[in-house]
Amino acid sequence: MRRAVNSNDIDQLRSLLRDTDALISEPHDESYKESVKRWSAAAEKAAGVAVVPTGASQISTILRYVAANKIDLAVRGGGHSTSGSSSTDGGLLIDLRAIRHVQVDATNISVKVGGGATWADVDLETAKYGFAALGGTISDTGVGGLTLGGGYGWLSGAHGLVIDNLLSATVVLPSGGIVRASENENQNLFWGLRGAGHNFGVVVEFEFKLHPQGNLWTGTLAFPPSPPVVHKLVEAINDLYRPRTPEGRTKYAGRAASVINILRPSDAGGKVALAAAIMFNGTEEEGRQAFKMFYDIGPVMESVRSVPYDIANQTLSAPPGFRVSMKGAAWALPLEIDLLQELIDSYTLFTKAIPDMESSMILLECYDPYVVATGATNSDMSFANRGWHMNASIQPSWTKQEFDTEGRKWARDTTALFDKWFEKTGRPSRAGDYGAVLAYGNYDHYDQKNSGDIFGQNYTRLQELKAKYDPDNMFNKLFAVQRKE
């Protein structure tokens, strides 16, 4: 059992780090507030002490002390997790916000990124060289959390998962050792980092492949959620993203992507709407042709334009400060009209019953899954949820703590609607193809029985790695692997 920090621990840490520029803050310090603040207010916890290190050697010192004294530990990267896994109740918080460098190597078409960087940091710097890294669908998320859990993004249809583009990682281990993991060094650790990376240490630097990237045609189309619109929108989604080749590629071979959002936008007077955030990796003319069936429905609002990738990756950004939870689900083509209608009905009733929940959303991601499904296998990395399915995210969002329970219950109930769809297809509820449930770990922050549900047949190997690198389970916050005795 790990414990909270006390005043003696703080004194010891100050002594150990006295000749460094690491910032140590306690609850009464102004800098402490920035360290414990999270994008979701529901994920905030009061750490006993927060440390902002500036390098790997300082983190090594901290981890050695934590290990020797069995202190509860959390690591903050971008601070965007809604699960609370980057927070600790009374323990020691390592805040990586001072380690957010982005160094582009234009010759080798790669980039080195600090563990505390956000994708916005990466997008801005790589754009200067005409490149993009495969990041998430929201640029203010942290590089570390997204990468270590797998990582889907707007460009996944063309380039796969974020971990498919990871070349190396520099890790501070629980022992205090500092190692580099790649296909050529510490290969087993590199395997484990790509999907279950929260379990093995603090990643202070990532190295990614880059891709030449011009402007994208992107923005949002909004529609009323009437039955005729629902019918036509489902038809458009199924047409655009259905496989067109024997190998399973879509018509535009990974160049198109969209997120269908059920929400109550403030500029619609709080009425329920369907918003399609769309992206085409090409010209406006090509994009309008690709999304012609969407336009033929007759959007009541359009904000689509040709912009650089760093701007495109802000399309789904949402303001911080709400109490947001997140529950993952999965679906597969063809999308059924009845499923989308049930989701709209569920959302409408819930947000009408609790007006404080009107900022909640349901998002269905649509893309070409060919590269993700075929570019690697579920045994090549610890990530065990590759397949031809799509991800969905149920996001209750509210302001008053008294509604915490209701928000999470609705997310569970809504996920069950997706489960019911899989049962209709004859598949066991959420059963993946590699012993794992169809749950993207970065979205599904609760309700799984254990980490074995997420990692499937990879779990035994992960247990062996846990016993080697983190036998005392210092890193235990998100889908913690239990070591194999």
- Crossing angle of helices 337-353 and 227-241, in 10° steps, is 130
Q: Where in the chain is the domain with CATH 3.30.43.10?
A: 7-95
CATH number belonging to domain 216-424: 3.40.462.20
DSSP codes joined into one string, 148-186: HT----TTHHHH--GGGGEEEEEEE-TTS-EEEEESSSS
Which pair of structure tokens corresponds to residue 116?
């505390």
Whether 9 contacts 71, CB under 8 Å: yes
Give the SS3 label for residue 44: coil
Query: Which H or E run includes 73?
Result: strand 73-76
Is the bond into 428 cis (omega within 30 degrees of 0)?
no
Per-residue model confidence (pLDDT) at position 356: 97
Whether 386 contacts 378, CB under 8 Å: yes
The set of long-range contacts for 349-356, using a CB threshold of 8 Å and a minimum separation of 24, is 350/410, 351/264, 351/272, 354/398, 354/403, 354/406, 356/398, 356/399, 356/400, 356/403
Number of residues written out for the chain: 485
Q: How far apart are CA 138 and CA 141, in angstroms?
A: 6
Q: CA quadruple 4, 8, 12, 15: dihedral positive or negative?
A: positive
Query: Which candidate, 436, 365, 203, 439, places its Cα nearest to that of 194?
Result: 203
Sheet containing 110-114, strands listed edge to edge, beginning at the edge strand earlier in sequence:
102-105, 110-114, 202-209, 166-172, 178-182
The model's pTM is 0.96
Q: Where in the chain is the domain with CATH 3.30.465.10?
A: 102-213
Q: How many alpha carbons fall within 13 Å on the CB side of residue 280?
A: 20
Q: How far apart are CA 125 and CA 154, in angstroms?
A: 18
Per-residue model confidence (pLDDT) at position 449: 53
Residues 6+ apart with CB under 8 A from 133: 111, 113, 119, 122, 123, 126, 165, 208, 209, 210, 211
Per-residue model confidence (pLDDT) at position 310: 95
Report the relative pairing of strands 92-95 and 73-76 from DSSP bridges: parallel
Query: Which candidate, 100, 72, 106, 89, places its Cα nearest to that of 36?
Result: 89
Whether 218 contacts 137, CB under 8 Å: no
Query: Which candidate, 276, 274, 413, 394, places its Cα nearest to that of 324?
Result: 394
Residues 6+ apart with CB under 8 A from 48: 4, 5, 6, 9, 10, 88, 90, 91, 92
Per-residue model confidence (pLDDT) at position 167: 98
CATH number belonging to domain 7-95: 3.30.43.10
DSSP codes joined into one string, 411-428: HHHHHHHHHHHHHHTTSP
Per-residue pLDDT of the chain (485 residues; tens, 9 = 90+): 899 999 999 999 999 999 999 999 999 999 999 999 999 999 999 999 999 999 999 999 999 999 999 999 999 999 998 888 999 999 999 999 999 999 999 999 999 999 999 999 999 999 999 999 999 898 999 999 999 999 999 999 999 999 999 999 999 999 999 999 999 999 999 999 999 999 999 999 999 999 999 999 999 999 999 999 999 999 999 999 999 999 999 999 999 999 999 999 988 888 999 999 999 999 999 999 999 999 999 999 999 999 999 999 998 888 889 999 999 998 989 999 999 999 999 999 999 999 999 999 999 999 999 999 999 999 999 999 999 999 999 999 999 999 999 999 999 999 999 988 877 766 655 556 677 777 788 887 555 557 788 899 999 999 999 999 999 999 999 889 988 76
Q: How far apart are CA 189 and CA 180, in angstroms?
A: 9
Q: How far apart are CA 378 and CA 161, in angstroms?
A: 12
Q: Where in the chain is the domain with CATH 3.40.462.20?
A: 216-424
Residues 6+ apart with CB under 8 A from 245: none
Q: How far apart are CA 76 and CA 48, in angstroms?
A: 14
Per-residue model confidence (pLDDT) at position 430: 52
CATH number belonging to domain 102-213: 3.30.465.10
Per-residue model confidence (pLDDT) at position 159: 98
Report the relative pairing of strands 305-307 and 178-182 from DSSP bridges: unpaired
Q: How far apart are CA 61 and CA 17, in angstroms?
A: 8
Helix-then-strand count for the chain, H and E: 16, 21
